[in-house]
Amino acid sequence: MTGRNGRQPTGRGSRLRARLSLGAHSVAGQVFALQAVIVLLLITAAAVALVVQARVDSERDARHRSLAVAEGFAHSPGLAAALASRNPTPTLQPLAEAARRASGVDFIAVMNTDGVRYTDPIPELIGKRATGDLSRAVAGRSFTETFRGEPSDAVRAVVPVRNAEGVVVGLVGTGIEVANVSMVVEGQLPLLLGAAAGGLALGTAGAALVSRRLRRQTRGLGPAEMTRMNEHHEAVLHAVREGVLIIGADDRLVLANDEARRLLDLTPDSEGRAVADLGLDPRTTELLVSGRVVTDQVHLAGDRLLAVNVRPTKQYRGMSTGSVVTLRDSTELAAVSGRAEVARGRLQLLYDAGVRIGTTLDVVRTAEELSEVAVPRFADFVTVELLDPVLRGDEPSSASGTYSEMRRAAITGIRTDTPLQPAGDVIRFVVPTAPMAAALDAGHAVLAADLNAAMGWRAQDEEGTREALEYGLHSLISVPLQARGVVLGMANFWRADTPEAFDEEDLSFAEELGARAAVSIDNARRFTREHAMAVTLQRRLLPRVLPEQNAVDVAFRYLPAKAGVGGDWFDVIPLPGTRVALVVGDVVGHGVHAAATMGRLRTAVHNFSTLDLPPDELLGHLDELIHRIDQNETGAVPDEDGDDPEGEPEPAAVTGATCLYAIYDPVSGRCTMASAGHPGPALISPDGQVEFPELPAGLPLGVGGMPFETTEFTLAEGSRLALFTDGLVEDRDRDFDTGLRLLGETLSRPGRSPEQACADVLAVMLFPVPSDDIALLVADTRRVEADRIAEWEVPGEASAVSRVRNAGSAQLAAWGLEEISFTTELILSELITNAIRYGSAPVRVRLLRDRTLICEVSDGSSTSPHLRYAATTDEGGRGLFLVAQYADRWGTRYTERGKVIWAELPLTGGGDQEPGPPDLDALENMAW
């Protein structure tokens, strides 16, 4: 291509482009470019950091200034009094504006505790509520924030104003607009950018000087050429694990690398000397100077077996330049291969230990897994000793070097006959120089390569050590098991049949193995402790002894899960009128929280049962109570980290609990029950037929939103009810339907007591390692005999009272209860009189002879009487008071068509004083 005037380009331009191209590919050029880029990045990063720091400092200064002005104005005299006036604005607006101008902030706003402004630089905003969250200031805490919103973005501070009593009566908000904060930073930008430009120029100039000097040193070579030259040299002389010799045509040694010097024992001045003068054996000398081609020839040189290769070098200008010899030490290669195989085996053993140790959360089993994984691949026998607190799950003492005895938790060996003490024995460390005591005192593994020379170990138990040595034990490594800096126990690795003694490499491996096992043992210990705590809490919260009652014959079983105690529970609650409530429930989850939640629910059910509510209403009240508990315990406003303001973690909610509540009446044989997400019971008829009645599916407690429904059915005399939790029938290896079918088959066997039925059910249904708690309640129902029940219809007239009273007295005489006849007549008179006077038809009276005498008077009114004290001038009002005084217990329960007022009396007369015989007919006129 020609130039502008048809001529070729001048040589100066071509040389300049060639130089630039050469510089770009040379090491010096690339170093200059790299340095220039690094300088540019550093200067840019520094400039950005300065801008960001200036912005941060400006915003921090704005926060501090706003907070100082707000606190100063909030604590100014008379501010609290002005806020208490009817119209604070005329008084505070001039003061706020004067303070704003003096302090240099953009606004000072005085507000009430609802955020309504009394002052503001913008008059239109006075009387309007400030936006943003002011709750922290209302609660008494000052704060600063970067506010985004109307009327403008600002860095503001809000400080509470307190009166003389310390009560927050108002708020003071001050701030500087974000735009004004940014202007401060923008004013500094020219200086920052100028400094950055100057630094960039200086850095570039320095890089150019360094690049110029480097170009002279490297003669303009590129990195690829220099790297290739260096790699060739290193590969030939040092990088390879082979000896390399270059022998010239005159049989002189031209070059030898370090490996060749080591293999042939060459002196440092060997290069340049004749091969015959190197002091090598004749056979080696002859091989090196023969010039023949040799491939992997095994050659004996002293005590080494060398694999030798000889090749002639490439001719240069038609002349032979000698030969190249490579040497490999096959003896060391075999040894290296053996060590690599051992290392691979150790790595595999560590991997197996990580997989096999700690598969359960049982302390003893974890110790057994440690002993099993090391035999026979590392040791012939392994013993593991643990401190007694660790075996119990307690925290061991953190003191080191003070352990004198431990309990053997595991022992594993290649043979069953061993001179070592069995598992369960106490192992004592009485000699400080014994390997075990030394390891505990030092805090690291101790090696006794030759037990015959371990005098401390032999002195500890002369008879036992003599038997161990005769048995063949010859080498020992003692490793203290430590986790979190606390000693848990120790592991001892013994060799007997393996001829090689333990060495230092084995010591490091044993310590690594012990460290991994110690973590698993500590995890199991902590789980054991928490499991024991939860089990103790659970058992103390569950009923220990069932209450006495005649309605059902009850047996129960409770088994905590192996993986963690849950919230399963049961209860038997006697109710008025010989009735009884059977309860079973389950709280989702495991641990102490689930057990504590169970205790709260059981207490709530007891409290609600005293109200004698139907099952559906009781579950409804229980569900509402759980809602209130959740709101009270989880309603705290979390801070920025998600914790509550006091720093405590947010409590877990109770949602997920289930409950089955059943009431059995032995008089009528009716059973009513309702379920809150809990499986229904098993109903076993007297002939052994088992059915699982369908119950309306209710939601679990705490979910809320839907009412519960009651199911009622009549039980034949001698029927059996089995209430249970889902842990009995369902597990990972068995679905719910299969478990129900198996449970039905087990319960169908006739002729067994409730205790025998519980034992048989657990024998068949129990899983080897239950993953959930199991609660089982088996109740045989009974009926009250007809001759223990007396009932009368009461006409709605006052004269009927004496007739029913006399009939009741006659019935008590027939039962042989004349001793309590007077008290019973008194109570009947009061209850019947008031039912006729204040209730509505029909009025019925029923006497039940059970553990106590139960007097029941029912009517069609739902109005409940209340106990009160009558004044001395009142003619009536003492009837219910007398009932409460003479009866052991009394109360009211509501039915679908009215109420029943009941009272219980002991079957034998009680009391220190015999009551006088008042006029029972006169008592009929006494009001409630």
- Give the separation between CA 570 and CA 585, rounded to whole angstroms: 6
Nearest to 36 by CA among 195, 218, 211: 211
Beta-carbon neighbour count of residue 383 at 10 Å? 26
- Tell me the β-bridge partners of 326: 244, 309
**Counts for the chain of helices (H) and strands (E), in that order:** 24, 30
CB 880 within 8 A of CB 827: no
**Is 666:684 a contact under the CB 8 Å cutoff?**
no
3-state SS string for 819-845:
HHHHHHHHHHHHHHHHHHHHCCCCEEE
The per-residue b/e assignment along 744-765, b for 16 or more CB within 10 angstroms, e otherwise, is: bebbeeeeeebeebbeebeeeb
Question: Which residue type does 532 have?
Answer: A
Contacts of 687 (CB under 8 A, 6+ apart): 750
827 near 884, Cβ under 8 Å?
no
Instruction: Find residue 428's DSSP bridge partners.
Output: 405
Q: What is the pLDDT of residue 711?
A: 94
**What are the φ/ψ torsions at residue 853 (nearest 5 degrees)?**
-90, 125
3-state SS track over 91-153: HHHHHHHHHHHHHCCCEEEEECCCCEECCCCCHHHCCCECCCCCHHHHCCCCEEEEECCCCCC
Cα–Cα distance measured from residue 362 to residue 650, given in angstroms and rounded to the nearest whole number: 30
Q: Over the range 404-420, which residues count as b (16 or more CB within 10 Å of their CB) and which as e?
A: eebbbbbbbbeeeebbb
| Amino acid identity for residue 151 in this structure | P
pLDDT in tens, 124-139: 888 888 888 888 888 8
Please give the average pLDDT of every successive group of 10 residues along the chain, which has 928 residues.
44 49 60 75 76 74 82 83 85 85 85 87 85 84 82 84 86 82 63 72 74 66 68 66 84 85 84 86 85 80 80 68 82 59 77 82 87 88 90 71 79 88 87 87 88 86 87 90 86 89 88 88 82 68 78 89 71 92 86 76 89 91 83 54 47 70 94 93 92 89 84 92 91 85 90 92 82 88 91 85 88 89 86 84 91 90 66 49 79 86 81 44 43
CA atoms within 13 A on the CB side of 534: 26
DSSP for residue 380: S
Alpha carbons 693 and 681: distance in angstroms, whole number: 7
All residues at 6 or more sequence positions from 539 whose CB lies less than 8 Å from its CB, including other chains: 558
Rounded Cα gap, residues 402 and 576, in angstroms: 63
pLDDT on residue 220: 61
Q: For the beta carbon of residue 655, count every other beta carbon within 10 angstroms.
A: 15
User: What is the rounded distance in angstroms from the CA atom of residue 547 to the CA atom of residue 554?
Assistant: 10
What integer pLDDT is reported at residue 269 of this predicted model?
85
Q: DSSP secondary structure string, 758-818?
A: HHHHHHHH--SS-SS-EEEEEEEE----GGGEEEEEE-SSTTHHHHHHHHHHHHHHHHT-G
pLDDT score for 638: 45
Q: What is the pLDDT of residue 720?
A: 94
The pLDDT of residue 567:
75
Residues with Cβ within 8 Å of residue 162, at least 6 apart in sequence? 80, 140, 168, 169
Type of residue numbered 184: V
Helices 223-234 & 27-74 angle (0-180, nearest 10): 100
Cβ proximity of 584 and 792 under 8 Å: no
Can you tell me whether residue 230 is helix, strand or coil? helix
Contact in structure between 200 and 36 (CB atoms under 8 Å): no
Q: What is the largest CA-CA distance in the chain?
A: 152
| Spatial distance between the Cα atoms of 516 and 354, rounded to a whole number of angstroms | 7
- 312, 323, 326 from 293: Cα distances, Å: 7, 9, 12
Q: Residue type at 322?
A: G
